[in-house]
Amino acid sequence: MLALAARLTLTGLPLLAAALLAACSSSPRAPYPADRDGPGTRAHAELLAVPDAQPRIEPLRVGGPNKPYEVLGQAYEPMRTDQPLRERGLASWYGRKFHGRPTASGEIYDMYAMTAAHRTMPIPSYARVRNPANGREVVVRINDRGPFHPERVVDLSYTAALKLGVLGGVAPVEIERLTFDAIRAGSWKRPAGDPALAAAPQPAMGESADPIGEIARRVAAEPDCPAVPPAAPGAAPRTADTRCR
């Protein structure tokens, strides 16, 4: 079914491919064009207060989402044991297009939860994702497969991307799987006063973490500014609306 769905996606039948994938809860999401997805409707201030995923030891599933699979002609073999994994690459996010649909784990995708998709981490897993551009970090629960694009290493939920400050598009990140030993010992937690966290600018409740959307809103709010006609001979010079400067 996986190979068939991937072929259908390539031949221009993505909706049918998605239906086939949804029919099998252990199947990865079919990749969709970015313009088919979009943000949610809940306020950013509310979502910034959503706590990170709390790591706990969950048995790794045998088979299901941890079986080898193929998407778009590329074969993937998920990890089946509790092993560390560190990667650097690009992060993307997925939102309302998949909200409410089954993930590869069989769980329903919630774009407002702190989850993420990874191609090969065992499901379920917990991972720390760091944005080196601003120092922000989040902990997410891996419960889905993806992203199926070159150079991308993780597909974040909408809220996780918001908290990291990467809603504007794909962005470089560092990702680390949290092992059972680290969870048992609590060593995954950042100690109080950690220099890395102290230097990280955290998003304020009123801060926009979507720079592209913020620019669009500002442009839309600007008044129309017609050209100022030249003044008649002997008349005082005309000035433009100060809001247009």
DSSP codes, 131-197: -TTT--EEEEEEEE----STTEEEEEEHHHHHHHT-TTS-EEEEEEEPPHHHHHHTTTSPPTT-HHH
Whether 117 is in a domain gets the answer: yes
Residue 198's H or E segment, with its range, is helix 195-198
- Give Dmax (Cα) for the chain: 88
Residue with tokens 């790591």: 55
Q: Round to whole Å and give the CA distance between 117 and 65.
A: 11
| Domain extent at residue 60 | 33-198
Look at residue 207 and tell me if it is in a domain: no
Residue 158 sits in a domain of what CATH number? Answer: 2.40.40.10
Enter the tokens of residue 126. Answer: 């917990």
The count of structural domains within the chain is 1
Is 244 inside a domain boundary? no
- Asked whether residue 206 is domain-assigned, the answer is no
pTM exceeding 0.75: no
**Residue 89 domain-assigned?**
yes
Per-residue pLDDT of the chain (245 residues; tens, 9 = 90+): 333 343 233 333 333 344 334 434 445 655 444 446 777 677 888 899 999 999 999 999 888 999 999 999 999 999 999 999 999 999 999 988 899 999 999 999 999 999 999 999 999 999 999 999 999 999 999 999 999 998 999 999 999 999 999 998 899 999 999 999 999 999 999 776 565 554 455 454 444 444 434 433 333 344 444 444 555 666 555 554 443 43
Neighbours of 129 (CB within 10 A): 26
- Specify if 47 maps to a domain: yes
- Give the Cα separation of 37 and 43 in Å (integer): 18
In a domain, 214, yes or no: no
E strand or H helix that includes residue 194: none
Q: CA 163, 146, 172 angle in degrees (round to 5)?
A: 45
Q: What is the pLDDT of residue 23?
A: 37
Q: 9 in a domain, yes or no?
A: no
